Structure 1
Amino acid sequence: MYLIIGGLVVLASVLGGFVMVGGKLLALWHLNEVIVICGSALGAYVIATPPKVMKRAMGAIKGLLKGPKYARADYVDLLKLVYELLVKMRREGVIAIEQHVDNPQDSAVFQRYPKVLADHHMLDFITDCLRLMVSGSMSPHELESLLEYELETHHHEALEPGHSVQRVADALPGFGIVAAVLGIITTMSIVGSAAPSEIGEKVASALVGTFLGILIAYGFVGPISTAMENRAHEDGKAFEVVKMALVASVRGYAPAVAIEFARKLLFSHVRPSFQDLEADLRAAKG
């Protein structure tokens, strides 16, 4: 929603200011300039970007029209799931969760949290971490280092689509100049044989290319890239929360304390209060 609102504000501001000084909107529409700029940018993007990144970029742009993957209530459910698993490990031993880890789709614990169960990236991350804990062959320091490496890889992959779109934003002003140069070349070819009014129209058309390249780059593509990166950072917070809780448990902290460590990592707008989370954990434990 904010993506659409922001785009409309950009258009209204630029076009409104242009009209206020007597400009005509049709003077800004030149299909040949659009084809040169947008077509060149798209071609360069295809050349520079692997297909898997392009596919994720399209999904990330669509995701901007929706809310974040995890809202406040979803983080509470995630913490409750980890808490239930840690309590079961402490009460019944690490072997007690082996069946839940091997078959999470059939686990009564995981089934209580369908949002997590439907997120296969998060599900794999949790179960893989728990398998390492069940094996008991890693120290807390080793486990934390391994999870840090995994999260670093995950964050790198999550940021790739945004970085690829940013490179397009960086190139668009250059393609705008290309369109303008082509327009000037056309204009120079008719100097001496065309009326001054026609030459003026050709020059104006060429300048529209520079205008469009800069507007699309800094008004739309660049901000979309930044929004994609911000969303990737926000969605990646869920993995950091799980990592903190599990590492704290391996270090010997009680499940409730481990969950409190994880709660502290959440951004303020999605972080539940200590009292509210404690009440939810008591309900889950019951």
Structure 2
Amino acid sequence: MLILIGAFIVIASTLGGFMIAGGNPLVLLHVSEFVVILGVALGVVVIASPMHTMIELIHKIKQALFGKSTGRGDYVEILKMLYEVFMVGRRNGLIALEEHVMNPGQSSIFTRYPSFTGNKEHMEFLLNGIKPVIDGKIKPDQLEELMTAELRAKDEEKGHPVHLLGMVGDSLPAIGIVAAVLGIINTMSAIAEGPEAVGEKVAAALTGTLLGIFVAYGFVIPLGARIAGINAAENQTLRCIMSAVAGFAKGLAPLTAVEVARRGLDSTVQPGSEELENILKAMPAVK
């Protein structure tokens, strides 16, 4: 919602200032300039990126417009779930976690946290971290390096739409100049029509330059920054899972492993240490 409010402020302040200066917003409405600039920008996206990146870009834009960020309450739920998993592993041995990991849809633990299990990426990351320890395929002190490599790969993949938007944003002012030059060429062919016609076509050409800069710095580049922020928030959740699982695998007590994960969170979403401890201790005994 905030991104829509921001877009409204950008448009309203630009048109409002133009009207206060005596301008008529209708003179900015030249369909040909919109077609050139937005069409070329779309072509740049198609040329510069493979299909999966374009699909991911659309997904990220929808997430930026309508998605819900992970809040403090969500992290409390994640930490509670991790604590339950670790308690089962501590009391009954790591082999007891196998039934939960191999069939999470039927797990008595995971089914209590649908908001987490509904996120395929987060769930897979958690399971990929626990499985090697249960199987004995990796030493506990090697797990963090393994999960870090996976996290790094995910971070790089998520950065592709951001880089693409940055490239489009950098290109739009130059695309606006292209639209303006086309407008000037059109103006030269209309000189014989008189000053009024020439003035109208020059205004249309200048609108092309304005539109390229306006769309780049008012929308595309800020949108890229918003998506980068979303990626950072998603990576924070994965780091939270990684630090807790790696700590538990190294022999930390469940409460300590969860506390390590809590301390790695931003202050805006971080529950208090004493508050979290009281929440965890008040949970019913897990089997």
TM-score bracket, normalised by the shorter chain, equals: over 0.9
Residue of structure 1 equivalent to 2:253: 254
Read off the aligned partner of 1:109 and give its amino acid letter. I
Residue of structure 2 equivalent to 1:55: 55
Residue of structure 2 equivalent to 1:124: 124
Verify: 1:168 aligned to 2:177, yes or no: no
For 1:31 and 1:61, how far apart are their aligned partners in 2? Answer: 25
Residue of structure 2 equivalent to 1:194: 193
Which 10-residue stretch deviates more, 196-205 or 64-73? Answer: 64-73
For 1:65 and 1:87, how far apart are their aligned partners in 2? Answer: 39
Residue of structure 1 equivalent to 2:25: 25
The secondary structure found in structure 2 opposite 1:271 is coil
Residue of structure 2 equivalent to 1:234: 233
Q: Is the 8 A contact 1:68 1:234 kept in 2?
A: no
Residue of structure 1 equivalent to 2:139: 139
Residue of structure 2 equivalent to 1:6: 6
Q: Is the 8 A contact 1:84 1:285 kept in 2?
A: no
Residue of structure 2 equivalent to 1:204: 203
Residue of structure 2 equivalent to 1:64: 64
Q: Is the 8 A contact 2:94 2:134 kept in 1?
A: yes
Read off the aligned partner of 1:209 and give its amino acid letter. G
TM-score (norm 2): 0.96
For 1:84 and 1:125, how far apart are their aligned partners in 2? Answer: 17
Q: Is the 8 A contact 1:68 1:235 kept in 2?
A: no
Residue of structure 2 equivalent to 1:78: 78
Which 10-residue stretch deviates more, 72-81 or 31-40? Answer: 72-81
Structure 1 vs Structure 2 CA RMSD: 1.3
The secondary structure found in structure 2 opposite 1:232 is helix
The Cα offsets for residues 58-82 of structure 1, whole Å up to 9 and x where unpaired, read as: 1111111235442211111111111
The aligned length equals: 285
Displacement of 1:113 in angstroms is 0.7
Verify: 1:220 aligned to 2:219, yes or no: yes
Displacement of 1:238 in angstroms is 0.8
Residue of structure 2 equivalent to 1:105: 105
For 1:189 and 1:69, how far apart are their aligned partners in 2? Answer: 53
Cα 1:67–1:44 shift into 2, 3 Å = closer
Displacement of 1:86 in angstroms is 0.9
Displacement of 1:190 in angstroms is 2.8
TM-score (norm 1): 0.96
The secondary structure found in structure 1 opposite 2:124 is helix
Question: After the TM superposition, which parts of structure 1 deviate over 4 Å for at least 4 consecutive aligned residues?
Answer: none
Residue of structure 2 equivalent to 1:185: 185
Read off the aligned partner of 1:74 and give its amino acid letter. D
The Cα offsets for residues 101-145 of structure 1, whole Å up to 9 and x where unpaired, read as: 100000001111111111111111111111111123423442111
Residue of structure 1 equivalent to 2:35: 35
Q: Is the 8 A contact 2:141 2:249 kept in 1?
A: no
Q: Is the 8 A contact 1:72 1:272 kept in 2?
A: yes
The secondary structure found in structure 2 opposite 1:108 is coil
